[in-house]
Amino acid sequence: MKAFVVDRYGRKNGLRAGEMPTPEPQADDVLIQIHATSVNPIDAKIRDGEFKLILPYRLPLILGNDLAGVIVRVGPRVKRFKPGDEVYAQPHKDRIGAFAEFIAVKEDGVALKPNTLSMEEAASIPLVGLTAWQALIEKGQLKKGQKVLIHAGSGGVGTFAIQLAKHVGATVATTTSARNAELVKQLGADIVIDYKKEDFADILNGYDLVLDTQGGDTLKKSLRVLRPGGRLIGIAGPPDPEFAKEIGASWFLKTVMRLLSYRVRKIAKRHDASYSFLFMRPSGDQLSRIAALIDAGTIRPVIDRVFPFASTNEALAYVETGRTKGKTVIKIR
């Protein structure tokens, strides 16, 4: 099968287009012929070797974390799917590989594709949809009437999270540039802050939850807008001891993560708030619930550009500019 592969870590090496063996599904796997995939910032970070400690992949590695396609084979223990089913999925972190014509995915990470979406639209959803769901609903326990700040509202996670938060009944503030202000308002943002001209920490206060996609100074400043007991959830790091426990990290890695997050956890405690790191996990059940919201018209995908499969490196470079509105998609079939 055709695939885009990391042979050596590092930005300058790029991805190699080549032939790779079609994966053999295990007993609880479905083999999916991929019609479309989408690009996420994590793809570039994996290519550059930034997750080597957390995710010790063996090279060569097929990149790609989102997909929509058609099941062509199922393992003997698979109960919920059959060949011919149109599905979408986010593979488990140790078995990525959606920049390819086929992928084997564990049954529990797969869901039937939303009926109202094309393959390209469906492929834009899994990673950002699951990230928003697990941050706002699962970890953040966002409720009707609460206030949430979602950073980078015009990005992939942001465009989905704004819509999900509005569905819950929360008041939503977001940061973006002036050129994307209208887009985030259409998605449901109540308060839009132009990060180039305004400081969100000077404007907002008393928030129940912040979803941070930026890290660094933005992460630390976000603690200032929270009410006592408020939660800060970061997807750009630093990883915390709870995450180290979740992944069964070694003693050394646990120590590293405790040190990396020490400062932000200490500042959070001073503000009577909490900080936690989220590394999204696959969930077919959550994707099914997301599909229902999409088919009901509650949430819509936001797609910036669709690239042909041959232009996968160009699609990755486009996402790395940091200026995409919503998601960048690659059409494979």
pLDDT digits (tens, 9 = 90+) for 157-170: 999 999 999 999 99
Question: What is residue 143's predicted lDDT score, i.e. its pLDDT?
Answer: 98
Query: What residues contact residue 195 under an 8 Å CB cut-off, 6+ apart?
Result: 175, 176, 177
Question: What is residue 33's predicted lDDT score, i.e. its pLDDT?
Answer: 98
CB atoms within 10 A of CB 73: 16
Q: Is the pLDDT of residue 108 over 90?
A: yes
Q: Is the pLDDT of residue 147 over 90?
A: yes
pLDDT digits (tens, 9 = 90+) for 294-323: 999 999 999 999 999 999 999 999 999 988
Work out whether the CA dihedral 203, 205, 211, 215 comes out positive or negative.
positive
Question: What is residue 12's predicted lDDT score, i.e. its pLDDT?
Answer: 83
Structure tokens at 83: 């060949």
Q: What kind of architecture, by CATH, is found in domain 127-277?
A: 3-Layer(aba) Sandwich (3.40)
Amino acid letter, residue 113: K
Residues 193-222 have a mean pLDDT of 95
pLDDT band (50, 70, 90) for residue 107? very high
Question: What is residue 261's predicted lDDT score, i.e. its pLDDT?
Answer: 92
**First and final CA of the chain: distance in angstroms?**
12
- Write down the pTM of the prediction: 0.96
Going by C-alpha positions, the residue among 128, 98, 172 that lies closest to residue 300 is 128
Interhelix angle for 251-260 vs 262-270, to 10°? 50
> According to CATH, what is the number of the domain 2-124+302-331?
3.90.180.10
Print the SS3 string covering the chain.
Answer: CEEEEECCCCHHHCCEEEECCCCCCCCCEEEEEEEEEEECHHHHHHHCCCCCCCCCCCCCEECCCCEEEEEEEECCCCCCCCCCCEEEECCCHHHCCCCECEEEEEHHHEEECCCCCCHHHHHCCHHHHHHHHHHHHHHCCCCCCCEEEECCCCCHHHHHHHHHHHHHCCEEEEEECHHHHHHHHHHCCCEEEECCCCCHHHHCCCEEEEEECCCHHHHHHHHHHEEEEEEEEECCCCCCHHHHHHCCCCHHHHHHHHHHCHHHHHHHHHCCCEEEECCCCCCHHHHHHHHHHHHCCCCCCCEEEEEEHHHHHHHHHHHHCCCCCCEEEEECC
CB atoms within 10 A of CB 79: 8
For CATH 3.90.180.10, the residue range(s) in the chain are: 2-124+302-331
Between CA 86 and CA 114 the distance in angstroms is: 9
Q: Is the pLDDT of residue 53 over 80?
A: no
Residues 122-138 have a mean pLDDT of 98
Question: What is residue 283's predicted lDDT score, i.e. its pLDDT?
Answer: 98
Q: Is the pLDDT of residue 251 over 80?
A: yes
Residues 319-329 have a mean pLDDT of 94
- CA geometry: angle at 68 spanning 57 and 64, to 5°? 20
Q: Is the pLDDT of residue 249 over 90?
A: no
For CATH 3.40.50.720, the residue range(s) in the chain are: 127-277
CB 152 within 8 A of CB 177: no
CB 66 within 8 A of CB 93: no
Percent of the chain with pLDDT over 70: 100
**From residue 171, how far is each of 142, 149, 235 by CA, in Å?**
10, 9, 21
Q: Is the pLDDT of residue 272 over 80?
A: yes
Question: What is residue 56's predicted lDDT score, i.e. its pLDDT?
Answer: 82
CB 169 within 8 A of CB 145: yes
Query: What residues contact residue 171 under an 8 Å CB cut-off, 6+ apart?
Result: 145, 146, 147, 148, 190, 191
pLDDT band (50, 70, 90) for residue 16? very high
pLDDT band (50, 70, 90) for residue 235? very high
Question: What is residue 148's predicted lDDT score, i.e. its pLDDT?
Answer: 98
